[in-house]
């Protein structure tokens, strides 16, 4: 983000994206507040009940430095993160990126949803993010339902 107005535009988009998810998924998901704590990322959690029970969460993330939307599977804390990271890292599961070291970030598994998003087409962008997020969540959910 080069300017304050671009940042404000992005913040508004992320808030609208979160509101879209709240309206589309009123049950079976816990949707958190938008986190805007630093200049690297903004995110909100969008977690299905089955993952909450495992102390896991899904985060829809905007990475400012790489100008892209990502989705992460994360733990409620570092202990949970390390436990599930080890399980996935030691398995033959390779559908999505698994970081080399769980201490370097917050994701157990992550995936790039949209690179260089065009915010002029916000409805299409929301649909793309939603489609990719639900695919990711369904793939993760299948692991826990087996």
pLDDT of residue 14: 94
> Strand 29-31's sheet: what is its strand order?
29-31, 41-48, 56-63, 68-75, 107-115
Domain hosting 90: range is: 4-145
Could you tell me the pLDDT band of residue 108, with boundaries at 50, 70 and 90?
Answer: very high
pLDDT of residue 110: 95
Instruction: Give residue-wise pLDDT tens across range 28-63.
Output: 999 999 998 677 899 999 999 999 999 999 999 999
The tally of domains found in the chain comes to 1
Could you tell me the pLDDT band of residue 81, with boundaries at 50, 70 and 90?
Answer: very high
What is the reported pTM?
0.91
Q: Element (H or E) spanning 30, and its range?
A: strand 29-31
pLDDT of residue 37: 66
């Amino acid at each position: 983000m080069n300017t304050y107005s671009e940042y404000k535009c992005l913040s508004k988009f992320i808030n609208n994206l979160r509101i879209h998810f709240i309206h589309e998924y009123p049950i079976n998901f816990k949707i958190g507040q938008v986190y805007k704590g630093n200049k690297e990322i903004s995110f909100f959690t969008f977690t299905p009940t089955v993952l909450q029970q495992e102390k896991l969460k899904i985060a829809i993330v905007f990475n400012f430095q790489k100008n892209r939307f990502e989705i992460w599977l994360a733990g409620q804390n570092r202990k949970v993160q390390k436990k599930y990271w080890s399980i996935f890292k030691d398995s033959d599961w390779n559908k999505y990126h698994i970081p080399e070291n769980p201490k370097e970030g917050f994701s157990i598994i992550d995936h790039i949803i949209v690179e260089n998003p065009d915010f002029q087409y916000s409805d299409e962008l929301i649909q793309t993010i939603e489609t990719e997020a639900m695919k990711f969540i369904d793939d993760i959910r299948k692991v826990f339902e087996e």
